[in-house]
Structure formats: C-alpha cells, structure tokens
Amino acid sequence: MSIKNNISPVLEIKDLKKSFGDHQVLKGFNVSLYPQENVVIMGKSGSGKSVMIKCLVGLMKATSGTIKIKNKDISILGQTELDFLRTEIGFLFQGSALYDSMTVRENLEFPLRRHKDKLRFRESVHDLVHEALENVGLVDAIDLMPSELSGGMKRRVALARALILKPSIMLYDEPTTGLDPITAKEIIHLMRNIQDRYGTSSLIITHDVDCARVISNRIILLVDGINYAEGTYDELSSSKDSMTKMFFK
C-alpha cells in the first residue's frame, strides 16, 4: 500500500457514470491500476463491465467522471492524441474480433500500418509479427485465415495482435469465455507470461473464478454500476457477505 502511495497509477477511473436514456448503467465506478498490477473486475451480466472498458478506450463517451491513462484525461484529447495514446493499450476482445478478410499475418500487421514509429532500430514489421506469434506459439498459422482457426487459436492470435504495438497496459474483456477449460488455462498461462516478459499492467474483466485466482493482484466486484467490494482473491473468497460469496461459489 505504501508503494502505491508513491507511484502514480497508469490508469485511473474516477466516479464514472454512463447512462443510456433513462437507464443508468454505471453509477460512479472507480478504479486505479498501478504499474505491473493485475486488477480483475467481476460482475454479473449487465452490471456495466463492458461499458466501462469501452469508455476506457474511448469507444463510448462517459456521461460523467474522469478517465486518465498515463496521467492524460482522455475526454480532452484530440483524435490524433487519442490514437497515439491507444498504442499504449492492448485490447483483447471477448470474441477475438479478428479481421476475417485478412490472414493472421495481415491481422498482426494492421496496427503497425499507422504506427511504424513503434518499430525499434533495425526491426522490421516481419520481425515484430514473428515475435508476437512466437509469444503465443502460433508461428505456423501465419498465413491462415481466421475462419481456419479454432476458438482458442483465434484468441491467441488476438492476443498477439493486442501485443504487437508493445503496449504497457493490457485490457482483457472476458479472455476465457467460450473456451474449453484446457484452452482457458492456456490463455491464462499466456497472460501471465506476457506480463512477466513485458511488465504490462492489466485490467481483466472476467466471470472465470479460476482466471481471477491465478492472475489477480486485486479484485473489484462491480454490482449495479458501483464498486461493491475490493480486495485480494483470498480476502474476497473468504468473505462472509452473501453477495460476495455468490461470485466465488
């Protein structure tokens, strides 16, 4: 805790509110993500987890509240600045969201088209694509189309694509949903490896208790659009509160 007091968060959400018409989904959500920390957000379906993560990357506009990424308030950034800031964030979508008209190689090359500045000295696009695919163990799939990949492979390619710009923050939206238990474990293992190798900070939205147990430094329960409870896995899983207990059954 004392370390956190001296370090500024890489990502900070304060009093985030989001409404759709009369329906208020987020009613004042708060979270701070510190360097190399993994924060898991758990909540029931419809509790506003996906809305929160979309507000975070500027895909949705928050009704009120502040979102700061690396100390920059995203609501006041212009499009160019926001696009540049987005290169600091890797986003793994729930459904992988691979571009189905492109091969695996083209999927990975796509984010680099406008951000060649991310290439290090003497490094080519080809090197970077190979490195990203090596990280997820799918170099052989480089020329395949997304339709030729299994669900687990798609998720791994999506992870490689999220990593291609070497982001310092990773956002995972339900990374293990829809996968069999073995593949889900592989994905969790990959997430851990990535953090060890690149020192990323991660915000993970999941229903998967196993995933939360293995990967989290801290868990936040999002209920009815607000922070309901917060703590480590051990603290929350041993909680006597009936609502908290339901998440860890």
Partner 1 sequence: MSLVNTYPTRLYNFLIEIGDLSHFAIRYFKEVFKGPYETSELIKQCYIIGNRSLFLVGVTGFILGLVFTLQSRPTLLEFGAASWMPSMVSISIVREIGPVVIALICAGKIGSGIGAELGSMRVTEQIDAMEVSGTNPFKYLVVTRITATTLMLPLLVIFGDTIALIGSSLVEYSKGGVSFTLYFNKVIKALSFGDILPATIKTFFFGFVIGLVGCYKGYHCKKGTLGVGEASNIAVVYASMLLFIVDFIAVFISDIFFEI
114 in contact with partner 1 (CB under 8 A): yes
- Stretch of 93-101, 133-141, 203-211, 220-228 contacting partner 1, by CB under 8 A: 93-101
Q: Please identify which residue in 4, 14, 99, 123 interacts with partner 1, judged by CB under 8 A.
A: 99
Long-range CB pairs of 3-8, under 8 A, 24+ apart, other chains included = 4/32, 4/34, 7/34, 7/35, 8/71
Q: How far apart are CA 68 and CA 103, in angstroms?
A: 34
- Stretch of 2-10, 19-27, 53-61, 184-192 contacting partner 1, by CB under 8 A: 53-61
* β partners of residue 105: none
Q: Tell me the per-residue interface mask from 173 to 212 with partner 1, x by CB under 8 A, - otherwise.
A: ----------------------------------------
**Nearest distance from C-beta of residue 40 to partner 1, angstroms:** 20
**Nearest distance from C-beta of residue 97 to partner 1, angstroms:** 4
Phi and psi, residue 37, nearest 5°: -100, 150
**Nearest distance from C-beta of residue 146 to partner 1, angstroms:** 10
**Nearest distance from C-beta of residue 83 to partner 1, angstroms:** 4
Q: How far apart are CA 230 and CA 238, in angstroms?
A: 13
Element (H, E) at 37: none
95 in contact with partner 1 (CB under 8 A): yes
Q: Residue-wise over 150-187: b if at least 16 C-beta within 10 A, else e? A: eebbbbbbbbbbbbbbbbbbbbbbbbbeebeeebbebb
Q: Which residues bind partner 1 (CB under 8 A)?
A: 54, 57-59, 79, 83-84, 86-87, 89, 91, 93-95, 97-101, 110-111, 113-115, 161, 165
